[in-house]
Structure 1
Amino acid sequence: MAYLNSLPDLPEIVRDSRLNATFHTDGRQSYIVHKRGGAHRRAKETQDVWVHEKHLGSGGYGRVDVQAKESKHPGLRQLRAVKTILISDTELRSRRDFYVRELEAIIKFSQVRYDDLFVKTYGWYASDNHLFIAMEYCELGDLHKYLKTCPDRRLPEDQTREIASQVLDALSRMHEENFAHGDLKPHNILIKHRPPDPWVVKLSDFGISRRSRNEDTAPSPITTVRGTDGFMPPELLNISGSSSKSIDLYAADMWCVGESIFRILTGRPTFENTQDLYGYYFKVGQFPVQVLRDAQVSEQAIAFLSSLVVCNPSERLTAKQALAHPWIMMAVPESPVFKFSDSLAEKLDVVAQNLRLAETEGEKCRAMGYLAITLFKMDMFVSAEFCYLDFIKREKESLSGPTVQFNPCLVERENLIRLDSFLIDLAHTLVRQEKIEDAKHFYEEVISHKISLYDNAHQVTIDVMYELAEVLRSRDKLEDAKRVYEDAQDTTAETRGDDAISD
């Protein structure tokens, strides 16, 4: 894999995401060291040490492990998941463009504007015959494992709709960027929040981990994948006799969406075996409507699934059409600002219109906050920051107290979570620019939001406090770091004592 490390013509996005890594072992424990240069000439070189913590699972792609970052403070636990893929130098040399494109896709969908849609990739590194991809660790696991703990292995329809809406939102963005997921199933839907909190899920495991070993190596407008038995549509099983070059992988994704939703609603597959699927394809059997009705699924949901699990790929709903389906639209909260199915440009138009039409100061404040989010997702960072500062100013003026504190009544819970993702990324940018005091302000803003959403004893709040403490410590602001760290430790102790941390 030294060949991949030394390639001089890697795309910039791939080259910049490579992590400098050295591998060590003390005989009992293995660990990875990443060295990082300072942001300017006088800044000190730093290093991060990641220690193997536990094995998560293995598959045809290789294995996934959890690593913990070493810290001088034992309470500061940062975890990441690392996927290890075995690729020989011979294979890499012969199919170099394919692997580079797949890395490019994974990194592309780790940009901040996709934070609420896909599991984030932090970077990649390599050793002889192995490629390692460092990713966000979702401690609540995947939807497949969660369903095993549910009665009859299924979820209520309203919760299923929430999940389906988020999955389609992510899939729509992938398709807009000319990428197909290729292996959509509950195993690859990772959970960030679940009841009693609102559902928040992210897509994972697309691209390089499901490379096909027999596809045409010629350039393709979309990622070529193989899929998983029980979730693949007829055209991928060659029931129809279609040429692999003529298969619409976007439509194949939509079949997988329908199959996944069917299983979430009923706890069983749409077709119990391949013979049933053949019967459905050749019109000997029918779509299992009665199974859905026996599970007390609404007729609207049945109509939605019937428009996805269609043998003719051209007759399936697209991701964008599915987002506009009445059953899915029931999951979208009423908002005067935008719908999830709108494009970014459409959202910007709607936000600007609502800003013009806003009558009360609260409505103007809310619209300005949405405008900041939308501009940020369009990579218009300077304008986004300007709008956010205006948003903060309006919010401060609408409150009686002297401090700048967010009023959660003005923005729905889900949008506040999205705003916090924006603020955290803005804080990260400021840290890289050595503007630590400004970054500290935004961290503290997020902490106040988390307290308003949950409480100061919630693990989400504690995690942000620990991250701020680590940033301050790494920039030699030891007194500030100590204060934040002690606050987090006190909160953790209180939480453990009261057994108050929720999942």
Structure 2
Amino acid sequence: MGRLPDLVRDSELETHFSPTCDVETVHTYHERSPNVRGKLVARRKHWQRLKKVGGGGFGSVWLENCTEPGQHEPKVRAVKQMEINRWSTRLDYNRELEAIAKFSQESEEHLFIAMEYLQLGDLHSYLQNNPKLPEIEVREVIFQVLDGLNLMHNNEFTHRDLKLNNILIKDGPPNNWWVKIADFGISKRGTPGYMAPELLGFTNRGIPCAVDIWAVGEITFQLLTKQPAFQNYGHLSTYVNDTSNFSYDPLHAIRTTELGIDFILSTMHPEPNQRISARDASNHEWMEQSLPLTIEQGFRYHNSGRETEEVQRAPSPNFG
């Protein structure tokens, strides 16, 4: 796999696997002794594999349970397992490891990445089983995604495969949205439907992080409409040649605000160097626009302590 970057190596855990890597993993930590000044003592933590909770072309994700968790330590975690020999010539593991900067260890045949387990799943699954999101909730989700991207881009990381499947839900309705970005830098090409025009050869390549911004626009469009912005590559090509051919109708059908549409267009400009940055997108006027809330959303925001103008403008119930 090559030399690990220092950021990754500093987060590497001393790890021992069961012979088949499918029963138990043991991590060894070295800590200062509370009784003897300066002395290091070894502490071991055992993780038991419970079940497979996901997977894809690059590996599988397993749920593990800590048999003796500490008082302030997680009881469960997700572990991504990838086959090194199968993908090592095509994937850059180090970029994801640098981004996560917390992983266990590699065995002779597999790479294991330990992650926080988010049992609510991802936005793709959520959208399949629920109605499309109200515009104010879409804005809340996208702001958090942009916040993460801004941090990544400022540190010269590009995700390269941002999509609904890679945005995990830590919390959601009836509480406020809390999402996290996953799968950093594993794919070098992207996923059809989220790929920017320059990745398909429709325009010249520009700044690398612009591909993430295009994906933000596609994600925003899908959260609002539950359909892709472009039905096929032919439709995308038509838009690249004439930007007036954007998919306005689905947005107008749900009465998306003009600022919301302008935000999407600013993230999905055909020319990568003319797309808005993650930082500027976070400061777009849409992020500050007053949007109507349902009664349920109004109570949710109010109870969370978010005293916003939208709460005050929440519509009154219609008792007929």
Q: TM-score, normalised by structure 2?
A: 0.81
- Determine which of 175, 180, 202 is the counterpart of 2:153: 175
Instruction: Determine the structure 2 residue equivalent to 1:132.
Output: 112
**Offset of 1:102 from its aligned partner?**
4.4
SS at 2:268 equivalent: coil
- Unmatched tracts of structure 1, length 5 or more: 108-121, 211-224, 333-411, 415-503
- Moved >3 Å (runs of 4+): 40-44, 89-92, 98-102
**Offset of 1:256 from its aligned partner?**
0.5
Distance 1:62 1:26 in 2: 16
- 1:306 maps onto 2:306 in alignment: no
Q: Deviations over 1:389-412 (max 9, x none)?
A: xxxxxxxxxxxxxxxxxxxxxxx7
Q: Deviations over 1:361-412 (max 9, x none)?
A: xxxxxxxxxxxxxxxxxxxxxxxxxxxxxxxxxxxxxxxxxxxxxxxxxxx7
Distance 1:260 1:280 in 2: 18
Amino acid at match of 2:219: S
Contact kept, 8 Å, 1:71 with 1:77, in 2: the verdict is no
**Offset of 1:146 from its aligned partner?**
0.9
Contact kept, 8 Å, 1:89 with 1:129, in 2: the verdict is no
Q: Deviations over 1:34-72 (max 9, x none)?
A: 122332465642211111111122212111111111128
Distance 2:289 2:242 in 1: 32
Q: Deviations over 1:399-431 (max 9, x none)?
A: xxxxxxxxxxxxx757xxxxxxxxxxxxxxxxx
Instruction: Determine the structure 2 residue equivalent to 1:227.
Output: 190
Tell which structure's C-alpha radius of gyration is larger: 1
Contact kept, 8 Å, 1:163 with 1:199, in 2: the verdict is yes
Instruction: Determine the structure 1 residue equivalent to 2:296.
Output: none
Deviates more, 1:125-134 or 1:56-65: 56-65
Instruction: Determine the structure 1 residue equivalent to 2:15.
Output: 21
**Offset of 1:13 from its aligned partner?**
2.5
Instruction: Determine the structure 2 residue equivalent to 1:473.
Output: none
- Determine which of 58, 62, 65 is the counterpart of 2:62: 65
Instruction: Determine the structure 2 residue equivalent to 1:45.
Output: 42
Larger relative contact order (CA 8 Å, sep ≥ 6): 2
Q: Deviations over 1:259-301 (max 9, x none)?
A: 0000000010001111111111222971111110102211221
- 1:200 maps onto 2:200 in alignment: no
Instruction: Determine the structure 2 residue equivalent to 1:163.
Output: 141
**Offset of 1:90 from its aligned partner?**
11
Instruction: Determine the structure 1 residue equivalent to 2:209.
Output: 250
Distance 2:119 2:81 in 1: 19
Distance 2:262 2:27 in 1: 51
Contact kept, 8 Å, 1:81 with 1:137, in 2: the verdict is yes
- Determine which of 226, 232, 239 is the counterpart of 1:280: 239
Write out aligned runs for 1:258-337 (5 A). Answer: 258-283=217-242, 286-330=245-289
Write out aligned runs for 1:82-481 (5 A). Answer: 82-88=79-85, 91=88, 99-107=93-101, 122-151=102-131, 154-207=132-185, 209-210=186-187, 225-240=188-203, 242=204, 246-283=205-242, 286-330=245-289, 413=305
Distance 2:127 2:86 in 1: 40
**Offset of 1:176 from its aligned partner?**
1.1
Distance 1:103 1:226 in 2: 18
Amino acid at match of 2:47: W
Q: Deviations over 1:293-322 (max 9, x none)?
A: 102211221111122221112221111111
**Offset of 1:174 from its aligned partner?**
1.1
Amino acid at match of 2:119: E
Contact kept, 8 Å, 1:25 with 1:31, in 2: the verdict is no
Q: Deviations over 1:225-257 (max 9, x none)?
A: 2111000011001123x3xxx432211111100
Distance verdict in 2 for CA 1:159–1:176, change over 3 Å: same
Distance verdict in 2 for CA 1:413–1:18, change over 3 Å: farther
- Unmatched tracts of structure 2, length 5 or more: 292-303, 307-320
Distance verdict in 2 for CA 1:247–1:69, change over 3 Å: same
Distance 1:19 1:300 in 2: 47
Instruction: Determine the structure 1 residue equivalent to 2:318.
Output: none
Distance 2:194 2:97 in 1: 25
Distance 1:51 1:331 in 2: 48
Distance 2:87 2:237 in 1: 39
Distance 2:5 2:242 in 1: 48
Q: Which structure has greater strand proportion?
A: 2
Aligned residues: 288
- Determine which of 18, 28, 35 is the counterpart of 1:35: 28
Amino acid at match of 1:162: E
Distance verdict in 2 for CA 1:90–1:237, change over 3 Å: closer
Distance verdict in 2 for CA 1:72–1:180, change over 3 Å: closer
Distance verdict in 2 for CA 1:157–1:61, change over 3 Å: same
Contact kept, 8 Å, 2:15 with 2:104, in 1: the verdict is no
Distance verdict in 2 for CA 1:233–1:13, change over 3 Å: closer
